[in-house]
Amino acid sequence: MIGAMAASTPRAEVVIDLAAFRRNVAVLAGLADRTGAATMVVVKADGYGHGAVDMGRAALTAGATWLGACSLAEALALRAAGITAPVLSWLDLPGEDFAAGVAADVDISVASTRMLRTIAEAASRVGKRARIHLKIDTGLSRNGCQPADWPALVAEAAATPDVQVVAVWSHLACADEIGHPSISLQAERFDAAYRQALAAGLTPLRHLANSAALITRPDLHFDLVRPGIAAYGLNPVHVPLDLKPVMTFRAGVALTKRLPAGEGVSYGLTWTTPRDTTIALVPAGYADGVPRSLSGRMEVVIGGRRLPVVGRVCMDQIMVDCGDLPVQEGDEVLLFGPGDQGEPTAREWADLTGTIDYEIVTGMHRPRLLRTYVGAPELVET
């Protein structure tokens, strides 16, 4: 076999390199350290498809002191796994069971007086002050309080005994476009909102910087930075930084067959063998995270060689044109990874399909894919 896999290797899996992840987090936390900011590693969407609990634990061993989740359910899953570090949840419906979040010491984002009252009521029932972060919309026009409503929100928060205002925060729209004028404009609006919070008698932390701003705008680090995609080794800006992609997507050859010239391959027979050739069948398709739009446009690595995937990507499988190479059943197939072995990267897939690498890796959260961790997983007190 030219690229043998272990006999126990599943049909398709994502391999998560915890050592690379910890190193990435250490690099990013080191940048924050220079400005005196703490680091919140974002592990929403099941850790961007890498596994929220395992990535959260690894982040906390590598210099992060906070974790970020999208929903209260995600935050409570971290608590259920024994993680006690500060966790922020920032996108929930008003009908959510905030009492469970308050009881579990989850920090909760608030962007309206209605949400503030809902959380305060839940805190009153629990008999415990809710830890909240007031979010101001500085120009992304997504979540966050409108500037016109902000004075009323901070005033009511300051007067509500059942809540503790831990921070004010916002999110940047174009941080990955270095020099975009909206970045400084949002920073000015954020500063104005912060001053209004101080005037209302609050003494909150400030956090604004995502991965891109952490790397390129140290003036916006404030008290806390929130790296997400960069922690997983995918750099959102064209600035050299020693980060390594954490996820590798691999499979094994299920079947090989020799086809004569002139044979069509896969649905629609969109590709025809131009010569006698060996076709390798790989049991990973669009149900496993391989975009169908990569049909006829992607390559994989088998035995150290880049080889074209031919014909249409199917729900469960792809076909690889191996020419006269001695590929055999059971050989390892690298679909994407860090690029160390010449394999495509998640960024390459994203570029080919007109999307971003965030979508590629989060798309690997699939029922049929096994997730395997390497790089010395650690059990830590969190």
Catalytic annotation, residues: 44, 267
Q: Which of 238, 133, 249 is nearest to 193 (CA)?
A: 133
Query: Using the 8-state DSSP alphabet, how is residue 309 labeled?
Result: E
The dihedral sign for the CA sequence 336, 339, 340, 341:
positive
Cα maximum dimension of the chain: 79
Residue 320 and residue 9: Cα distance in Å, rounded?
Answer: 20
Write the DSSP assignment of 180-216 as a string of letters: -HHHHHHHHHHHHHHHHHHHTT---EEE---HHHHHH
CA 381 to chain CA centroid, nearest Å: 23
Q: Which residues pair with 319 in a beta bridge?
A: 281, 310
Provide φ and ψ at 327, rounded to 5°.
-75, 140
* Range 217-221, long-range pairs (CB < 8 A, 24+ positions): 217/175, 217/183, 218/31, 218/34, 218/35, 219/187, 220/183, 220/187, 221/32, 221/35, 221/36, 221/37
